[in-house]
Structure 1
Amino acid sequence: MKVLCLHGKGTSGSIFRSQISSFRGKLPEGVEFDFLDGPFNSNAAAGIDLFYDPPYYSWYENDSIDDIRGACERLNEYIAENGPYDLALMFSQGCVLGSSALLFHQEETPHLPPPFKAAIFVCGGPSTTVLEEMGFHISAEARERDAASRKALALQAGSSAVLARGSDRWTGLESLNNGLSEDQLQEEITCPYRVAIPTVHIYGSKDPRYASGVHLSGICDPAKRRSFNHGGGHEIPRTAFVSNSIAGLFRWASEQGGVQ
């Protein structure tokens, strides 16, 4: 099994390798992970510089449709040269890249095999810019929540917050979601179609970007998706329960994608 790994903005492939080490060790032998680095130099993601040395990278520099489309084209070129890949494992901005690549594929080249057979999205949402380009409707409330959650993440994941409160910094976020259930959050985006491959969605209810992760699950085929709320923030907790749960979902995605 060959797995494509796409890190978050302001980190790197080697950092992502470290971030997933707790559940990677629980997977069967023979899984080959390919940890890419984004093509652009970046400032460290909030709080990352406390634990990891540079360099740090991003997949694109702006959230414009042209920049994201360009990032997807580069990704597809890499896959053509180094693939095929059975599964993609993504975190934060990597989820934006991977979900956008799947949507562009479904709209433009549905007669060809998708970039990967199954996908695991961790603490990440879709690009609202890409969704609008493709005819998805996003409610005004979802837009407001998206902007507020980005600001909250920058504050609660920043170095001073990490040093002062540690994991306790992920608090007071319920107001961002107005008490809405996952089903209600998913209904905030109207989908002309959905990502068709098997998908796993891993997010934390204390993550300021929690709603964005739920939105991403909502644009994927409900018959082919699984979700897991690890209960934390914008991170991958390393507890045994979370690690075992993610490893189980990894195996499910592999089986659903027809990976041997």
Structure 2
Amino acid sequence: MPRILCLHGHGTSGSIFKTQTASFRSKLPSYTFDFPSAPFPSKPSPGIESIFPDIPTYTWYPEPTPSALRAAHAWVRQYARENGPFDAVMCFSQGCSLIGSMALYHARDRHNGIIDVDVEPLPFHSAIFICGGVPLWALEDLGLPVPERAHALSKTTGTLLTSTAGKITLFARDVSQIQRGVGLWDGNGAHLLHDPDPAARPARSDVFGLDYTSFPEWARITIPTVHVYGAKDPRWPAGIQLAEFCADRSELDHGGGHDIPRSTWVAEGIAGLVVGVVARSWEGESERTRGHGVVDGAREG
């Protein structure tokens, strides 16, 4: 039975993430999902208090610093040691920042000989990223070049995300503000900094300010990954940036915003990708095991 560790976004909680993912998880009855809450209390993210009133909310790192981020990585490892093993990790928004950066730091440390990947592998074999990217300040700490243009684009998309999500509170206070047939994420239009048409995918030399052709070879996430994002999400560019780091990826654009739609086609689509990524991770693990002289769980004699 596949086991998946589930890491929520900033200003929410494990129980909230469990509710947010209920639609597609219902398509995976044989899977086990573990929903811990982050260790640090925080204010709820914009709009969350209107949807989930009176539920405590948390964050994975209380300040955007490399030391706080590495401490969060250590927390995940310890949780996995005590509650795993896990076949995959599934994350949303800040949870993606946590796991995406964890995988990149692991790759850098392995390349530099700081860790032995056979002794200290990642505590999961695949990852499902939903509406999230990797913090640019973490990339800089890793020694990767991040032009000022990338920072400017990230700041603009972050501001638009916050202002749009904050409308949930306005709508909750005054339902007359809701326009029939117009969704929360429909009003941004020309304010979005991206074209979600697959044919308009940016070249790797300029993915919203990041030049992947200039990055060192080690700067890759090699475990199988799934990337779920929404065409109307202001932070769509960050999701594409994270996807470009991943060597073995599947992607789904659900067409919505910074959320997880509950429609049948989205639920079935995500569920299918989860099944596929876990299967790919098992295949990869089997190949690595054979490479170490293990056959059907026993050492070759």
TM-score, with length taken from structure 2: 0.80
Q: Which position in structure 1 is the counterpart of 2:51?
A: 51
> Post-superposition shift, 1:128?
1.1
Question: What amino acid is the match of 2:107?
Answer: Q
Q: Is the 8 A contact 2:194 2:237 kept in 1?
A: no
Taking the aligned partners of 1:38 and 1:213, their CA distance within structure 2 comes to 22
Task: Compute the RMSD of aligned alpha carbons.
Answer: 2.0
> Post-superposition shift, 1:137?
2.1
1:87 matched to 2:111:
no
Query: How many residue pairs get matched?
Result: 257
Taking the aligned partners of 1:155 and 1:34, their CA distance within structure 2 comes to 31
Q: Is the 8 A contact 2:13 2:56 kept in 1?
A: yes
Q: Is the 8 A contact 1:173 1:207 kept in 2?
A: no
Q: Which position in structure 2 is the counterpart of 1:73?
A: 74
Taking the aligned partners of 1:173 and 1:63, their CA distance within structure 2 comes to 30
Q: Which position in structure 1 is the counterpart of 2:298?
A: none
Query: Larger strand proportion, structure 1 or 2?
Result: 1
Taking the aligned partners of 1:82 and 1:215, their CA distance within structure 2 comes to 31
SS at match of 1:202: strand
SS at match of 1:254: helix
SS at match of 1:100: helix
> Post-superposition shift, 1:132?
1.2
1:196 matched to 2:230:
no
- Flag structure 2 segments of 5+ consecutive residues without an equivalent: 110-114, 287-301
1:220 matched to 2:227:
no
1:239 to 251, 263, 284: 263
Q: Give the stretch that moved more between structures: 153-162 or 240-249.
A: 153-162
2:278 to 232, 240, 254: 254
Superposed CA offset, 1:19-49 (max 9, x none): 000000001x331111010111111111111
1:101-140, aligned counterparts within 5 Å? 101-108=102-109, 109=115, 110-111=117-118, 112-140=120-148
> Post-superposition shift, 1:135?
2.2
> Post-superposition shift, 1:179?
4.3
> Post-superposition shift, 1:160?
4.0
> Post-superposition shift, 1:210?
0.6
1:36 matched to 2:36:
yes
- Flag structure 1 segments of 5+ consecutive residues without an equivalent: none
Q: Is the 8 A contact 2:131 2:229 kept in 1?
A: yes
Q: Is the 8 A contact 2:185 2:256 kept in 1?
A: no
SS at match of 1:116: coil
Taking the aligned partners of 1:43 and 1:83, their CA distance within structure 2 comes to 29
Taking the aligned partners of 2:194 and 2:161, their CA distance within structure 1 comes to 17
Q: Is the 8 A contact 2:88 2:125 kept in 1?
A: yes
SS at match of 1:99: helix
Superposed CA offset, 1:52-81 (max 9, x none): 132011111111111111111111111122
Q: Is the 8 A contact 1:39 1:58 kept in 2?
A: yes
SS at match of 1:250: helix
TM-score, with length taken from structure 1: 0.92
Change (3 A) 1:168 1:81: closer
Question: Where do 4+ consecutive residues of structure 1 move more than 6 Å?
Answer: none
Question: What amino acid is the match of 1:69?
Answer: R
Taking the aligned partners of 1:173 and 1:71, their CA distance within structure 2 comes to 36
Q: Which position in structure 1 is the counterpart of 2:201?
A: 182
Q: Is the 8 A contact 1:102 1:114 kept in 2?
A: yes
1:205 to 231, 237, 246: 231
For the pair shown, which has the larger CA radius of gyration, 1 or 2?
Answer: 2
The percentage of counterpart residues that share the same residue type is 37
Q: Which position in structure 2 is the counterpart of 1:145?
A: 153
SS at match of 1:117: coil
1:171 matched to 2:187:
yes
